[in-house]
Amino acid sequence: MARVLVVEDDQFVRSALIRHLTEASHTVRSVGTALEALREVAHLGFDVVILDLGLPDLDGAEALKMLRGITQVPVIIATARDDEAEIVRLLNDGADDYLVKPFSVEHLSARMAAVLRRAGTGTGGGGAGAEADRAIRAGGLVIDPLRRQAELDGRALDLTRREFDLLAFLAQRPGVVVPRRELLAEVWQQSYGDDQTIDVHLSWLRRKLGETAASPRYLHTLRGVGVKLEPPRDSPRG
């Protein structure tokens, strides 16, 4: 099943969506503002975002543009507006689909299934083409979570399980500084621990990526804040 972020400020609609999606065995998080949505997407992985346009802090169209600046997660627009020109503009700005309110839960389910099939996630995943689309690309790095394989500039990387998990987690959020406590929680599945564990694995990863802490190419540490993966400026972003 899919990991879904519902961005909706109407509490009644929000509760109904959460109930329906949860009953369908999806993992659901929900927020009521655009800024909360941006924070959630920057720090957590989702398979699809359901985005209301009528948000209290920022117009949903602007929120969509900002989301597209940090992630390629599929976005389904939920809107009461049925103006064709605006819908076309939203699709051109990066929306994957849209629903005009009011809509039925069956309609939402069908649209979600279609979007997830195209993205190659959730229960509707396709064949070899969909699997190839799941690869994470950041500069010369190509990471395949399904096969648990990673390449740098066409060369296979020999990574331990934890090294792969750490690299893949960071690569899913290129340019985003991930706090150490989040790395411990998501990669090591620990609510607390020794930062030295992270430093040791980062050191091993850097060695295999051909870089050092003093001269990083991909892995950048912000002292007292966290770690981010960012491709070198001279590398294609894929």
pLDDT, position 132: 40
Judge if 3-124 and 135-229 fold alike in CATH terms: no
Q: Does residue 151 or residue 103 have the better pLDDT?
A: 151
Computed over every residue of the chain, the mean pLDDT equals 83
* Distance separating alpha carbons of residues 94 and 64, to the nearest angstrom: 7
To the question of pTM greater than 0.85 for the whole model, the response is no
| Distances, alpha carbon 7 to alpha carbons 19, 47, 49, 53, 215, in Å | 14, 14, 7, 9, 40
Contact indicator for 8, 52 with CB cutoff of 8 Å? yes
What is the homologous superfamily of the domain 3-124 according to CATH?
A: Response regulator (3.40.50.2300)
In Å, how far are 8, 53, 129, 154, 174 from 230, measured between CA atoms?
A: 31, 31, 26, 18, 5
133: tokens are 């689309």
Q: What pLDDT score does 192 carry?
A: 64
What topology is assigned to 135-229 in CATH?
A: Arc Repressor Mutant, subunit A (1.10.10)
Q: What is the pLDDT of residues 94-147, one digit of tens each?
A: 888 888 888 887 888 888 888 887 766 554 444 334 444 468 888 899 998 777
Nearest residue to 38 via CA among 11, 8, 9, 64: 64
Q: In this predicted model, what pLDDT tens digit does every residue of 15-49 receive, in sequence order? A: 989 998 888 888 899 999 999 999 998 888 888 99
Percent of the chain exceeding pLDDT 70 equals 88
Least Cα distance to 94 among 73, 123, 116 occurs for: 73
Q: Domain spans of the chain? A: 3-124, 135-229
What does the pLDDT read at residue 129?
Answer: 40
